[in-house]
């Protein structure tokens, strides 16, 4: 059993920055991939960024160069640094964990709201 808890969401002006954190507890050794996904009203949930145990990273094209995902395996935390935020980044952001390196997401946090004002 794994629990993921996000923090760091809030309201920020366009061009600003936020750092989202995800704290994992429970059977954290089962997590091979962690990621951040987001869902805006009326839109499909999309993968924002993901990172494997080996440090391989993937980003959505829309956030490439602006967002950075990191993971501290020893501390069981994952972070999403978001810079140069845009109004279209407004969404609920979810931390997620995958037992594999490529499959569906097995563990989910409760989500944290990020709102970017113009």
**pLDDT tens for each residue of 22-54:** 999 999 888 999 999 999 999 999 999 999 988
Tokens representing residue 32 in the block: 């091979």
At 70, the pLDDT band (50, 70, 90 cuts) reads very high
- pLDDT of 6 reads 96
Kindly report the average pLDDT of the chain as a whole number: 95
Q: Which parts of 1-118 are beta strand (E)?
A: 2-7, 10-13, 18-26, 33-39, 46-52, 57-59, 67-72, 77-82, 91-98, 107-108, 112-117
Q: Average pLDDT, stretch 61-84?
A: 94
Rounded Cα distance between 25 and 44, Å, is 28
pLDDT over 90 at 103, yes or no: no
SS3 52: strand
């Amino acid at each position: 059993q794994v629990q993921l808890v996000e923090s760091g969401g809030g309201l920020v002006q366009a061009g600003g920055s936020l750092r989202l954190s995800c704290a994992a507890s429970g059977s954290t050794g089962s997590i091979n991939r962690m990621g951040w996904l987001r869902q805006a009203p009326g839109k499909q949930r999309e993968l924002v960024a993901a990172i494997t145990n080996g440090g391989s990273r993937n980003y959505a094209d829309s956030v490439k160069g602006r967002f950075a995902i990191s993971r501290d395996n020893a501390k069981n935390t994952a972070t999403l640094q978001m810079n140069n935020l845009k109004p279209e980044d407004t969404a609920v952001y979810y931390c997620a964990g995958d037992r594999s390196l490529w499959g569906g997401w097995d563990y989910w946090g409760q989500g944290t709201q990020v709102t970017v004002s113009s």
